[in-house]
Structure 1
Amino acid sequence: MDRVLEEMEFLARSANRGDVLTALTDATHDRQALAAETGASQPTLGRILRDFEDRDWVRETDDGYTATATGRLVAAGLTELSDSLAAELHLREISEWLPANDLGFDLQRLGEATITTPTQTRPSAPVGRVIDLIKAADHVRILSHAFNEATLSVVVAWVADGGSFEGVFSAAAIEAVADEAALGEQLRQLQAGERATIRVAEESVPLAVTVADDTVSLLLRDEQGRLQASVDTDDPAVKSWATELHDRHWDAARPLSDSDLASDG
């Protein structure tokens, strides 16, 4: 382990080392090309290349320097670590609210996701971001333990304008909407449309996930249920996970019925 840490420290002491090794993994370079691509000076390149040759990470050829098999192994690890750290830094602000056990994809997939958090002037900014994505989409799927007033109103109008909607909501979410006369009427209106289908999940719905065309949005809440952020991405792996998750709950859920829409009030 000590030798591994020493090699990690060797690479970390200079950003040029990682840049040079990555460049030589991508293609053979002479020293002039390496200097142009990495910005390293010729004396610095000389030291780096000698150190790399001592470790058998690179070798010199008639066309320049190229990475060896072990050099490529190290470069791949550097790239993976760099990508993981970049994703962690991007997500650090919201990491405590990410439901890691319920996400069926590598968090690195959210490394370039759009994060929207509440502000003093826009406390509902996360919901607003999801609503904007819904308005711009042709087809929307939602799986959620809540159906808030703002989203319901927008979905009703959006479906009337030609959007296609498939929603799976927890029984508690449907009950909460049905108990409010105005919201219950909007839900009836939505259910009556030809382009909207709503199903009720009797089992627990752990996440609030929206798939608006190719973009997946997650609404993140704290332990007290307060909305803390929305995270959205068009990463294909995340979309595949979200679609499969929605389909699984859809198949297990039952159709929304008239009795679900009957208020107890």
Structure 2
Amino acid sequence: MEETLAEIEFLALSPNRVTVLESLAEGRRTRSELAEATGASQATLGRILGDFEDRDWATRIDGGYAATATGRLVAEGFRDLLDVMAVERELRDVVAYLPTEAMEFDLRHLADATIVTPTQTRPNAPLQRLLALMRDAESVTAFSHALNDQSLSVVADRLGAQEFEAVLTRGAVDSLTADETLRARLRRVVSAPSAGVRVADGDIPVAVTVADDVVNFLVRDDRGVVQASVDTTDPAVREWAQRRYEHYRVNSEPLTAEDLDG
């Protein structure tokens, strides 16, 4: 273990070593090409290449250098570690609120996610991010344990210009129908040919909205207070969202205007 950690430290303490090893893993490189990639002096490159040859991570070939099989293995593994740590840093402030047990995909697919959190000047920034995505979309699909009045307003305003489908928990629907204004707005939505809402009796642990090709997670704490908006266009996350929506759809019943009368 200690020797392995020492090798990781050897690479981690020098961005130039990482760049050189990744370059060599891609193919043969001359010292001039490595100098251009790193900005390092020839003396520094000489030490790096010597260290790599000592570890059998690199070999001289045709006037240049290339990674060995183990060198490529190390480069790939270290890149994976860097990617994991980059994602962890992005999610660090919101991971406590993410329903990760329901997110059946590798969190590395959130590496390029847009994360919006509340600030003192913009406490509603996460919700505003979601609303902006919904306003601009031609198609919106959602499954959630909650639907706030502003999201419902956007859906109602876009009727006829936007396809909308959602599966909501019984609790989410009850919260909307408890308010007369929201009940009437929801009735407008379910009566529109371009919209549909279904009700699931079971729990939906995530609040997911797919606006065109963007998958958005609206993340709440245990009190129901929105803590972040996390969205991505990653294909694997979109596929997961489509599968989950279909699961909830087949295990739900349509909400009709008649259900909202009275």
TM-score class, shorter: over 0.9
1:123 matched to 2:93? The reply is no
Q: Which residue of 2 aligns with 1:256?
A: 255
Question: Residue type of the partner of 2:173?
Answer: I
TM-score, normalised relative to structure 1: 0.95
TM-score, normalised relative to structure 2: 0.97
Contact in 1 for aligned 2:114/2:230 (Cα 8 Å): yes
Question: Residue type of the partner of 1:94?
Answer: V
Contact in 1 for aligned 2:190/2:256 (Cα 8 Å): no
1:39-78 pair list within 5 angstroms: 39-78=39-78
Contact in 1 for aligned 2:129/2:229 (Cα 8 Å): yes
Contact in 2 for aligned 1:208/1:219 (Cα 8 Å): yes
Partner of 1:199, secondary structure, is strand
CA distance in 1, matches of 2:5, 2:228: 37
Q: Which residue of 1 aligns with 2:97?
A: 97
1:200 matched to 2:199? The reply is yes
Q: Which residue of 2 aligns with 1:173?
A: 172
1:112-261 pair list within 5 angstroms: 112-160=112-160, 162-258=161-257, 260-261=259-260
Q: Which residue of 2 aligns with 1:24?
A: 24
Contact in 1 for aligned 2:145/2:205 (Cα 8 Å): yes
Q: What's the CA shift for 1:116?
A: 1.1
Q: Which residue of 2 aligns with 1:8?
A: 8
Deviations 1:128-177 (A, max 9, x none): 111111111111101011111100011011123x1001110001111111
Contact in 2 for aligned 1:174/1:260 (Cα 8 Å): no
Contact in 1 for aligned 2:167/2:248 (Cα 8 Å): yes
Q: What's the CA shift for 1:15?
A: 1.4
Contact in 2 for aligned 1:175/1:260 (Cα 8 Å): no
CA distance in 2, matches of 1:121, 1:183: 28
Q: Which moved more, 1:112-121 or 1:198-207?
A: 112-121
CA distance in 1, matches of 2:110, 2:128: 20
Contact in 2 for aligned 1:143/1:209 (Cα 8 Å): yes
Percentage identity across aligned positions? 47
Question: Which segments of 5 or more consecutive residues in structure 1 lack a partner in the other structure?
Answer: none
Question: Residue type of the partner of 2:3?
Answer: R
RMSD: 1.2
Q: What's the CA shift for 1:63?
A: 4.0
Q: What's the CA shift for 1:7?
A: 1.0
Question: Residue type of the partner of 1:251?
Answer: V
CA distance in 2, matches of 1:102, 1:260: 30
Contact in 2 for aligned 1:25/1:72 (Cα 8 Å): yes
CA distance in 2, matches of 1:239, 1:63: 46
CA distance in 1, matches of 2:30, 2:227: 51
Pair 124,53 (structure 1): closer, same or farther in 2 beyond 3 Å: same
Q: What's the CA shift for 1:236?
A: 0.7
Question: Which segments of 5 or more consecutive residues in structure 2 lack a partner in the other structure?
Answer: none
Q: What's the CA shift for 1:13?
A: 2.3
CA distance in 1, matches of 2:35, 2:234: 34
Q: What's the CA shift for 1:258?
A: 4.4
Q: What's the CA shift for 1:119?
A: 2.3
Q: What's the CA shift for 1:180?
A: 0.8
CA distance in 2, matches of 1:262, 1:212: 30
CA distance in 2, matches of 1:133, 1:122: 17
